[in-house]
């Protein structure tokens, strides 16, 4: 196609006006321009002084970005204290999630921990049971690492077919930030491990006293006790003042408001690693300790909450990640998986972190079935949803990393669809 | 001794001796943090393992547990553990795990009695965590087991009777086997062209219409 992109407001209005009147939550509505701000006139913000320094001692996004927020699905859970609010992936770019937009998943509400009274207890099969204050943790050698964190239940509502219309809801239980903290190995060395130690129990100080068993080999490999995210102290929703970081493994293990680490020789089989976060297969048996998050990707724009507003040159943008290492490649398909082309990864590629990919296309207004497929450095290829279902059935809730399909319609609207 | 060895050995030795602290094999003790006292540990050390390790002293009967349950649990979990509203069901669901509508309860799914006991001990009643006495904990656990026909009406749960409880789904779990059962997903050269037949749309999220605000949100244009 050779026609240049049509970007005038009037024709954009016409273009989307033919659609059925349903736009996903969070999709920004087009709005009439205010001629007095446009050339040749001089805008208000050019004529008048703005706020001085110090008026906004902790800066917030522009008031015009008010729709860039976490959202909930109220029918999903019995109570907001044990529920989830999703990252607005469709509004973000690059690989780093802003702290205030990182999805929330709590089991007993947000613990408001006074950092002065914060204590981390380390005991069990150790030579010296220890207690650290937050200041103690900050005095120890620290490292900075960028990791994704994905809830094992991300995309869990889609096992039986396309259900939620927006990548915020289908894929928004993932975020990616830079953590600052102490390598867990270093903390464990301070206490001294007994020779037959094999597992540890991480426990939160929240009203759920969240507990998960972590194999010691993982703890000694790359786990951290983090107290900062993206440079500032952890947000309360993310476990202020300290949380466990378990790179590449399911988010439930990343215990927030971490108050206790106990060393043992066997896993504890807590409620969260048996009755929850175990994957029920079709035969009625369940996989346990499915820690790694398999390679996964999603196109974040276009997506139901980020419709296409003009024909012509169009950038497809998405996120990919793998719990087994670095993302090596991302392919995209415009025809529901018949043909694939390799997308362009832009920005840094870190171990067990999100990568950003782009594919630039010319779009004529034809219906497209958009898909993305991530591959990681172990050779794992993100499977189709149907290939996953063939092995796992549809009851497992967790670890749904199947390929997502978005139908881009001639109106520019996008819908979450299932293809067969 | 060769000229190389004459030169290199003393150099190596020098390097080893001069190595800074961070290259040492032995972990460094930074002298940061203090000893946790037995009393401090006892206050927080609430976890209980399947083998009963960590279970506190105490005991509770099914009968005593019924009272605790009716006072503190039935409001959310239902009088018979069937769930009131959308709170988790604790009973029923037997034989449903391999069906299209699995109901995962203490009786149908939980593998060990410790899972129930440890969880109630740390997180229940919802909004009033760690408020039950040890005897109440044993009692209410016994009652929930009784709701699932796992123990009889006369049963008393304690450290001594812990191992008598046989959970129906104790053999229902197996270790993550994705590396073998899903080996086909590792593929060095996935298909790029004509990978499948014609593609049909088989499901629409909009037809299900459960997305928050999808109808109330303004249309893309005004």
Report the distance separating Cα B137 and Cα B141, nearest Å. Answer: 6
* pLDDT of A31: 75
Note whether A313 and A276 are same-domain residues: no
* pLDDT of B11: 54
Cβ-Cβ pairs closer than 8 A, A with B, add up to 293
Note whether A272 and A131 are same-domain residues: yes
CA distance B92 to chain A (A): 14
- The reply to whether residue B220 touches residue A27, judged by beta carbons under 8 angstroms, is yes
Return phi, psi of residue A306, to 5°. Answer: -130, 70
Q: Give me the residues of A, 22-51, that contact B with CB < 8 A.
A: 22-27, 29-32
* pLDDT of B208: 84
Tokens read off for A135: 């200041």
Note whether A230 and A321 are same-domain residues: no
Residue that the structure tokens 């998943």 belong to? A105
List the beta strands (DSSP E) in B40-193.
59-61, 156-158, 173-175
Note whether A187 and A119 are same-domain residues: yes
Does A395 lie at the interface with B, CB-CB under 8 angstroms?
Answer: yes
**Residue burial A247-267, b: 16+ Cβ < 10 Å; e: rest:** bbbbbbbbbbbbbbbbbbeeb
Nearest to A74 among B118, B186, B212 (CB): B212
Q: Which domain holds residue A213?
A: 104-282
Tokens read off for B208: 């299900």
Report chain B residues whose CB lies below 8 A from the CB of A73: 210-212
Contact in structure between B66 and B54 (CB atoms under 8 Å): no
Out of A282, A311, A332, pick the residue that ends a domain.
A282
Please count the other Cβ atoms lying within 10 Å of the Cβ belonging to residue A275.
Answer: 22
- The verdict on residue A243 lying in a domain is yes
Note whether A120 and A228 are same-domain residues: yes
- Is the bond preceding residue A40 a cis peptide, omega within 30 degrees? yes
Report the distance separating Cα A114 and Cα A207, nearest Å. Answer: 15
Test the A interface: residue of B211, B215, B217, B218 with most A CBs within 10 Å? B211
Does A142 lie at the interface with B, CB-CB under 8 angstroms?
Answer: no
- Looking at this predicted complex, what is its ipTM? 0.91
Find, among A401, A414, A412, the residue nearest to A158 by Cα: A401
Note whether A109 and A258 are same-domain residues: yes
- The verdict on residue A28 lying in a domain is no
Does B143 lie at the interface with A, CB-CB under 8 angstroms?
Answer: no
Tokens read off for B58: 């105490």
Residues of chain B with confidence (pLDDT) below 70: 1-24, 214-222
- The verdict on residue A252 lying in a domain is yes
- The reply to whether residue B201 touches residue A284, judged by beta carbons under 8 angstroms, is no
- The reply to whether residue B174 touches residue A285, judged by beta carbons under 8 angstroms, is yes
Report the distance separating Cα A184 and Cα B120, nearest Å. Answer: 29
Residue of A nearest to B36 (CA): A130
Does A83 lie at the interface with B, CB-CB under 8 angstroms?
Answer: no
CATH number for the domain spanning A404: value is 2.60.40.650
- The verdict on residue A18 lying in a domain is no
Note whether A277 and A301 are same-domain residues: no
Strand partners, A123: A262
- The verdict on residue A290 lying in a domain is no
CATH number for the domain spanning A113: value is 3.90.420.10
* pLDDT of B18: 53
Residue of A nearest to B173 (CA): A286
- The verdict on residue A390 lying in a domain is yes
- With 0-12 / 13-18 / 19 or more C-beta atoms within 10 angstroms meaning exposed / middle / buried, residue A56 is exposed
Out of A225, A255, A282, pick the residue that ends a domain.
A282
pLDDT digits (tens, 9 = 90+) for B31-61: 999 999 999 999 999 999 999 999 999 999 9
Residue of B nearest to A26 (CA): B217
* pLDDT of A239: 98
Note whether A388 and A348 are same-domain residues: yes
Note whether A226 and A317 are same-domain residues: no
- With 0-12 / 13-18 / 19 or more C-beta atoms within 10 angstroms meaning exposed / middle / buried, residue A211 is buried
- The verdict on residue A68 lying in a domain is no
Residue of A nearest to B105 (CA): A275
Report the distance separating Cα A91 and Cα A12, nearest Å. Answer: 20
* pLDDT of B219: 33
* pLDDT of A22: 43
Q: Domains plus CATH for chain B?
A: 52-164 (1.10.760.10)
Note whether A250 and A190 are same-domain residues: yes
- The verdict on residue A4 lying in a domain is no
Nearest to A338 among B49, B181, B195 (CB): B195
CA trace torsion B45, B47, B53, B54 (10° rounding): 40
Out of A282, A304, A336, pick the residue that ends a domain.
A282
Note whether A233 and A352 are same-domain residues: no
**Structural domain count, chain A:** 2
* pLDDT of A20: 38
Report chain A residues whose CB lies below 8 A from the CB of B185: 294, 380-383, 387
For the whole model, what pTM was predicted? 0.91
Per-residue pLDDT of chain A (420 residues; tens, 9 = 90+): 334 334 344 444 445 444 433 445 556 566 789 999 999 999 999 999 999 999 999 999 999 999 999 999 999 999 999 999 999 999 999 999 999 999 999 999 999 999 999 999 999 999 999 999 999 999 999 999 999 999 999 999 999 999 999 999 999 999 999 999 999 999 999 999 999 999 999 999 999 999 999 999 999 999 999 999 999 999 999 999 999 999 999 999 999 999 999 999 999 999 999 999 999 999 999 999 999 999 999 999 999 999 999 999 999 999 999 999 999 999 999 999 999 999 999 999 999 999 999 999 999 999 999 999 999 999 999 999 999 999 999 999 999 999 999 999 999 999 999 999
* pLDDT of A130: 98
Note whether A254 and A231 are same-domain residues: yes
């Amino acid at each position: 196609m050779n026609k240049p992109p049509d970007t005038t407001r009037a024709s954009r209005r016409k273009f989307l006006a033919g659609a059925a009147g349903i736009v996903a939550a969070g999709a920004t509505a087009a709005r009439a321009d205010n001629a007095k701000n446009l050339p040749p006139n001089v805008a208000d913000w050019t004529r008048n002084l703005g706020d001085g320094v110090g008026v906004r001692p902790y800066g917030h996004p522009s008031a015009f970005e008010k729709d860039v927020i976490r959202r909930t699905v109220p029918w999903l859970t019995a109570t907001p204290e044990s529920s989830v609010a999703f990252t607005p992936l469709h509004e973000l770019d690059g690989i780093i999630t802003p702290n205030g937009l990182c999805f929330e998943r709590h089991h007993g509400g947000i613990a408001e921990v006074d950092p002065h009274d914060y204590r981390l207890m380390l005991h069990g099969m150790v030579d010296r049971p220890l207690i650290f204050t937050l200041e103690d943790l900050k005095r120890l050698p620290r490292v900075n690492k960028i990791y994704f964190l994905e809830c094992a239940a991300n995309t869990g509502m889609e096992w039986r077919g396309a259900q939620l219309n927006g990548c915020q809801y289908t894929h928004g239980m993932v975020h990616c930030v830079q953590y600052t903290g102490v390598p867990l190995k270093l903390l464990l060395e301070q206490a001294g491990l007994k020779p037959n130690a094999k597992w540890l129990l991480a426990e939160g100080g929240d009203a759920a006293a969240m507990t998960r068993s972590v194999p010691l080999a993982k703890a000694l490999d790359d786990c951290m006790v983090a107290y900062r995210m993206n440079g500032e102290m952890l947000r309360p929703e993310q476990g202020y003042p300290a949380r466990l970081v378990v790179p590449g493994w399911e988010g439930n293990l990343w215990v927030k408001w971490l108050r206790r680490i106990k060393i043992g020789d066997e896993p504890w089989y807590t409620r969260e690693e048996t009755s929850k976060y175990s994957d029920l297969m079709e035969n009625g048996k369940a996989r346990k300790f499915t820690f790694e998050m398999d390679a996964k990707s999603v196109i974040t724009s276009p997506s139901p909450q980020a419709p296409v507003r003009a024909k012509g040159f169009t950038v497809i943008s998405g996120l990919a990640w793998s719990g087994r290492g670095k993302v090596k490649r991302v392919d995209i398909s415009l025809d529901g998986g018949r043909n694939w082309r390799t997308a362009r990864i832009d920005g840094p590629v870190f171990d067990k972190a999100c990568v950003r990919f782009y594919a630039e296309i010319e779009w004529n207004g034809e219906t497209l079935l958009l898909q993305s497929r991530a591959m990681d450095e172990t050779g794992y290829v993100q499977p189709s949803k149907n290939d996953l279902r063939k092995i796992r059935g549809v009851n497992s809730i967790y670890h749904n990393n199947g390929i997502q399909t978005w139908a881009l319609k001639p109106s520019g609207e996008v819908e979450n669809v299932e293809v067969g | 001794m060769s000229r190389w060895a004459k030169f290199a050995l003393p150099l190596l030795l020098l390097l080893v001796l001069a190595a800074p602290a961070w290259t040492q094999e032995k972990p460094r003790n930074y002298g940061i943090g203090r000893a946790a006292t037995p009393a401090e540990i006892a206050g927080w050390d609430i976890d209980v393992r399947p083998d009963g390790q960590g279970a506190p002293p105490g005991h509770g009967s099914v009968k005593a547990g019924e009272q605790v349950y009716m006072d503190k649990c039935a409001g959310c979990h239902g009088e018979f553990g069937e769930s009131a509203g959308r709170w988790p069901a604790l009973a029923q669901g037997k034989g449903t795990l391999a069906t299209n509508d699995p109901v995962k309860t203490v009786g149908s799914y939980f593998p060990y009695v410790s899972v129930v006991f440890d969880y109630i001990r740390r997180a229940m009643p919802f909004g009033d965590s760690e408020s039950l006495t040890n005897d109440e904990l044993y009692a209410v656990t016994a009652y929930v087991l009784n709701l699932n026909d796992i123990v009889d009406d006369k049963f008393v749960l304690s450290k001594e009777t812990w191992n008598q409880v046989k959970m129906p789904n104790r053999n229902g779990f197996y270790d993550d086997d994705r590396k073998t059962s899903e080996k086909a997903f590792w593929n060095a050269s996935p298909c790029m062209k004509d990978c499948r037949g014609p593609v049909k749309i088989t499901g629409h999220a909009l037809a299900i219409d459960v997305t928050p605000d999808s109808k109330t949100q303004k249309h893309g244009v005004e």
